[in-house]
Structure 1
């Protein structure tokens, strides 16, 4: 689980990130990146019902949380990052998901 301070929890925050943030799309993920005024990064994970049933969605969220936890220290502080799972995420293995996530962060100039 991500620490409470590292999570985006309010719907208002998600709306602001969707409106003002930069959108980057990969094969399995879409990320929105928006600067915040905090001394740390915050992350949010979104999986819609298009991804699959609850088992598939929860598995995707667990994998994404693990990827975020593993790579969070590499990011410069002061950003909100929302990771949206695309419908085909169930086809991806962990290593491919991580590669897609890191590629999108490099594209966003966060790595």
Structure 2
């Protein structure tokens, strides 16, 4: 995932939390806000310290970035997407993280087709 497609600034995270829509499952929370002026979606990842040590948190973020990279062509809109990992995410493998993320995107109709779910 290219760095220009990431959300880094606190104000952008706060905007997504306040103005965006949210949806969650047991492992992840998804906030998204439409940004018609953008050509591509951007993602912001948040994994709190309660989840585990730095190695665990970075592994979860790496899995999420890789999942977005694989789903890149199937995401419908130019959006700002913020993902917050919950406690069960620390024991998940890559395939489980991708399945959980795909489930959230599918339920919120952010995927172009349902063959990915």
| TM-score, structure 1 normalization | 0.93
User: Paired residue for 1:53?
Assistant: 53
SS in 1 for 2:72: helix
Stretches of structure 2 that go unaligned for 5 or more consecutive residues are: 112-117
Q: Which residues in structure 2 correspond to 1:1-111 (within 5 Å)?
A: 2-36=1-35, 37-111=37-111
Contact map agreement 1:33 1:108 (CA 8 A) in 2 = no
Question: Alpha carbon RMSD of aligned pairs, Å?
Answer: 1.0
Per-residue deviation at 1:50? 1.0
Distance, in Å, in 2 between the alignment partners of 1:84 and 1:92 is 15
Q: Is the Cα–Cα contact under 8 Å of residues 47 and 85 in structure 1 kept in the other structure?
A: yes
Once the two structures are TM-superposed, the CA of residue 4 in structure 1 deviates from its matched residue by: 2.4
Q: Does the residue aligned with 1:31 lie in a helix, a strand or coil?
A: strand
Question: Structure 1: any 5+ residue segments left out of the alignment?
Answer: none
Q: TM-score, normalised by structure 2?
A: 0.89
Q: How many residues align?
A: 110
Which ranges of 4 or more aligned residues in structure 1 deviate by more than 2 Å? none
Matched residue SS, 1:27: coil
- Retained in 1: the 8 A contact 2:77–2:110? no
